Amino acid sequence: MHRSWTVVAAVLAGLAVAMGAFAAHGLDKVFTEKYAGQTRTVVGETVPLAKKFLGDFKTGAEYQMYHALGLLAVAVLAAQRPSKRAHAAGWCLLLGCGLFSGSLYVLTLTGVTKWGAVTPIGGVFFLLGWGLLAAAACAPAKPSASQ
């Protein structure tokens, strides 16, 4: 199963790079046209909605990359010391990417702000994933069958 986590991590990391490049090279023009004249108040400052959504999209890509790297840690731990906790950590990080980053991508591209309610659920899965990874790393190693 550790190989599967490595593949998933690599795919997520590659997609994070693609999403970041998409944001950096052209998405600003799309958002400027799509959200022309719309604003939001952020930390007491009124900003163009296009600027806020571009930042939100980039946050999705950034968190996706961080958690793809976390999945690599899951793969390494699962290879060295397979456990249900390690695999649960992997699933939580993967679900977190889908819900957190995915909801930010959908929210910003569609303008449907209800997707913002999904984002914190993804954040909770991230927290669970990191906690489970820590628990898996701290658990005593099981003796192998050859010992």
For the entire predicted model, the pTM comes to 0.92
Number of domains composing the chain: 1
CA trace torsion 124, 126, 132, 138 (10° rounding): -130
- Asked whether residue 147 is assigned to any structural domain, the reply reads no
Rounded-to-integer distance, Cα 11 and Cα 20, Å: 14
Domain that residue 8 falls in: 2-138
Q: Is 48 helix (H, G, I), strand (E, B) or coil?
A: strand
Each residue's pLDDT tens digit, 40-59: 999 999 999 999 999 999 99
Question: What is the phi-psi region of residue 25: left when phi exceeds 0, alpha when psi lies from -120 to 50, beta otherwise?
Answer: beta
- Asked whether residue 17 is assigned to any structural domain, the reply reads yes
Each residue's pLDDT tens digit, 80-133: 999 999 999 999 999 999 999 999 999 999 999 999 999 999 999 999 999 999
Residues 6+ apart with CB under 8 A from 65: 12, 13, 16, 17, 20
- Asked whether residue 143 is assigned to any structural domain, the reply reads no
- Asked whether residue 37 is assigned to any structural domain, the reply reads yes
